[in-house]
Amino acid sequence: MWSVTSTTPTAEDAQTIARTAVAERLAAGAEVTGPSISVFWHNDELGEAQEWRVTLKTSTAARDKLANRIQALHPWAGEAEIVATPVDWAIEHYAAWVEKVTAAVE
């Protein structure tokens, strides 16, 4: 199981990614949190902005397809933050649910 995370400039962008990924069964579930303040280096200068985080739970089989779908939906096109962390442990029924929900991904 994987936890895939991205940040977006608006709550609506994060919710669109969450809804689409879950509806398409690329993720079993998603949470949107924020706003938060992000400090970053971009275009040769220091930047600061509000962002919303979307965190999605998915299977190994669906992970790369999910990342590609996030990229396609993301307003920052080629510069979107998309990171994935393997989930080392989860309660058995939760992990089985994530696998079952995302098993339909072709």
What tens digit of pLDDT does each residue of 62-78 get? 999 999 999 999 999 78
What does the block give as tokens for 75? 């307003």
Using a cut of 0.95, tell me whether the model's pTM lies above it.
no
Question: What pLDDT digit, counting tens, does each position of 83-98 carry?
Answer: 999 999 999 999 999 9
- Which tokens is 105 given? 């991904």
In the structure, what pLDDT confidence band is assigned to residue 106 with cuts at 50, 70 and 90? low
Query: How does the average pLDDT of the chain come out, rounded?
Result: 95
Domain ranges of the chain: 2-102
- pLDDT value of position 79: 86
pLDDT of 46: 97
What CATH number does the domain located at 2-102 have?
Answer: 3.30.70.120
